[in-house]
Amino acid sequence: MGLILGRLGQSLAVLLAMSFVIYGLMGLMPGDPIDLMIAADPHLSAADAVRLKALYGLDRPWTERYLRWLARIAQGELGYSRLFARPVLDALGPALANTALLMFCALALALTLALPLGVAASRRPGGGLDHAANLLAFVSVSVPTFWLGLMLVAVFAVWLGWLPAGGMHGLAEDDGGPVDRLRHLALPVATLGIAGCGQYLRQMRAAMLAEAGHDYVRTARAKGCGPVRVLLGHQLRNALIPVTTIVALEIGGLFSGALIAETVFAWPGMGRLIYEAVMGNDFNLALSGLLLATAMTLAGSILADLAYAWLDPRVRSL
Amino acid sequence: MTVLARLRGDPVALVAIALLLALAVAAILAPWLAPDPESLDLAAMLAAPSLAHPLGTDELGRDVASRLLHGGRVSLAVAAATALLAGLTGTALGLLSGYGGGRLDAVLMRLTDGVMALPLLPLLIVLAALDPAKLGLAPDLLHSEVFAVGRIVVIVALVGWTQVARLVRAQTLAVKARDHVRAARAIGAGPVRIMLRHILPHVASPVLVATTLSVGHIILIESALSFLGLGVQPPLASWGNMLTGAIGTIWTSPAAALWPGLAILLTVLACNLAGDGLQRACDPRR
């Protein structure tokens, strides 16, 4: 318990430090909020610009502005998105839901591919299946996500014409129903699933092999358990502990890591939102989005600790 | 058995290393092997492979094979420089942290944890989108080719040093307690000399392995940033930015997107296989 509280405190410190860094970096972005307003309305005079600067507090020192912004964020006031012309929260919410949908489907696919294959490969290290699984794992961690996405589009959308190449609607909007949604999901999920399965496959295989040498495995075999029972009933249970930790660790990062796939497939998710906000000088949205992405990643690592403590009784007592 | 002898018995690692060497040679010789990658042939846009253009041309009629070679030169140089910079930073911080101990260690390791816990890609996008003019750099420097490439090297290295730092710190802690280090301290060697002469040689091989493995990862990051238009800037070709326009042209010529990605895949695959083989050769127990 004390361990978790400590991690929580540390994460909050990282989040606070990150908010400071992000706020500072935003000030170094090309463009200036007032310049953007002047560009939008040519009737604004220089005097108006000065007045606007004072109105928004932009004439104040940097640290003061940061503290004011932090106070507002803490009260849940995220401001207004310039790019989407709506409150930041209304832009972030649907994007988060879209990314969650994409991410969980991709994670499910990656694990469906990786776990059985990892278990099967560990049965005979150095065998044919092990070599094939190893090759798949290496290709999976080595393939550039955006190119894999492009190739899948080239084959399944351009060449075969089976699936749409992108352009998913928001979850809340009126869309073509579940079938249409599934068709839009297929290619991005396949891209992220294939690119993600390699590391889980390697982890699963390594964890199974590490467990295979333990005494309890020999005991189980000696008391007459069949090979499948030993593998799935005894070894797998323990081997899943480190794999679960890795998965939990990845979940937080996945919220922003899907950025590239979201760009290729025009998927209206978190990663693409942050990218567009940064590129489009939407400071409020970019700040909140980045902070949320950081919080997600940190939450993932706490989740990994919790999962580890929950699954492994040896750690629980700490 | 020495590391080299063990490596010689590993055909996969040997093929990977040979491929990397061949890529490096091709990248170095690119200006002599291939014609100008920026010359436009507007009469032959998105042309199919022919004798004049072995891999066809892109959407502006530039020779794809030539751009692939010159792009590889940029991508590989960026990856090597970034891995070197990140490796050096990580080694220095890891040595300081492990040997210094105490409060210095605590601060540096919290910093490492913090950087590792950050969402990598969004952070890189922000860093890459910064306006360098607001940092107060000289304008003529900003438009030079060195700056265009150096910028991406620094950005990626800024977040890429953590793994090496942790590795070096752990190894330093183990080596620090050995007799030869204590003996060196007893005869009056200063901390810098002990770190560089007596500890560094013992951390060299894990650093080499980690750096080789990181090159593949760095190539992936650089290509992704360049693909998003934030890395190496056109007209300078890199494997990533050759695909920037590919979403638009994929309907008319899907094959054009094949080559740059295949080059990235093969290079990263070779780096990972070579690093893996090196790891097994350095530490046969694993």
- Mean per-residue pLDDT over chain A, rounded: 79
pLDDT > 70? residue B47: no
Q: How close B95 comes to chain A (CA, Å)?
A: 23
Q: How much is the pLDDT for A256?
A: 66
Q: How close B121 comes to chain A (CA, Å)?
A: 6
User: With bands split at pLDDT 50, 70 and 90, how would you rate the model's confidence at B34?
Assistant: low
Winning range, highest mean pLDDT, from A202-206, A233-237, B4-8, B87-91: B87-91
CATH architecture entry for B3-29+56-282: Orthogonal Bundle (1.10)
Q: Compare CB distances from A259 to B121, B257, B276 and report the shortest one's residue.
A: B121
Each residue of A138-197: pLDDT tens digit?
A: 998 899 988 998 888 888 877 776 777 666 655 445 556 666 777 778 888 888 899 888
Q: How much is the pLDDT for A127?
A: 81
Q: How close A223 comes to chain B (CA, Å)?
A: 30
pTM listed for this prediction: 0.84
Q: At what angle do helices A283-311 and A62-74 cross, to 10 degrees?
A: 60
- Mean per-residue pLDDT over chain B, rounded: 81
Q: How close B58 comes to chain A (CA, Å)?
A: 16
Give the residue, B236 or A179, on which the prediction is more confident. Answer: B236
The domains of chain A, with CATH numbers, are 12-77 (no CATH), 90-317 (1.10.3720.10)
Each residue of A28-83: pLDDT tens digit?
A: 777 666 666 666 676 777 777 777 767 666 667 777 777 877 777 777 777 777 77
Q: Which of A54-58, A117-121, B128-132, B243-247 has the lowest mean pLDDT?
A: A54-58
Q: How much is the pLDDT for A318?
A: 47
Give the residue, B21 or B55, on which the prediction is more confident. Answer: B21
Q: Which of A96-105, A226-235, A251-260, B19-28 has the lowest mean pLDDT?
A: A251-260
| Interface probe, candidates A150, A159, A192, A296, chain B, greatest B C-beta count within 10 A | A150
User: With bands split at pLDDT 50, 70 and 90, how would you rate the model's confidence at B52?
Assistant: low
Average pLDDT over residues A80-95: 76
Q: How much is the pLDDT for B268?
A: 92
Each residue of A75-87: pLDDT tens digit?
A: 777 777 777 777 7
Which residues in chain A have their CB less than 8 angstroms from residue B131's CB? Answer: 28-31
- Contact yes or no for A29 and B131 at CB 8 A: yes
Percent of chain A exceeding pLDDT 90 equals 2
| Interface probe, candidates B75, B112, B118, chain A, greatest A C-beta count within 10 A | B118
Q: How much is the pLDDT for B179?
A: 83
Q: Where are the domains of chain B?
A: 3-29+56-282
Average pLDDT over residues B158-187: 85
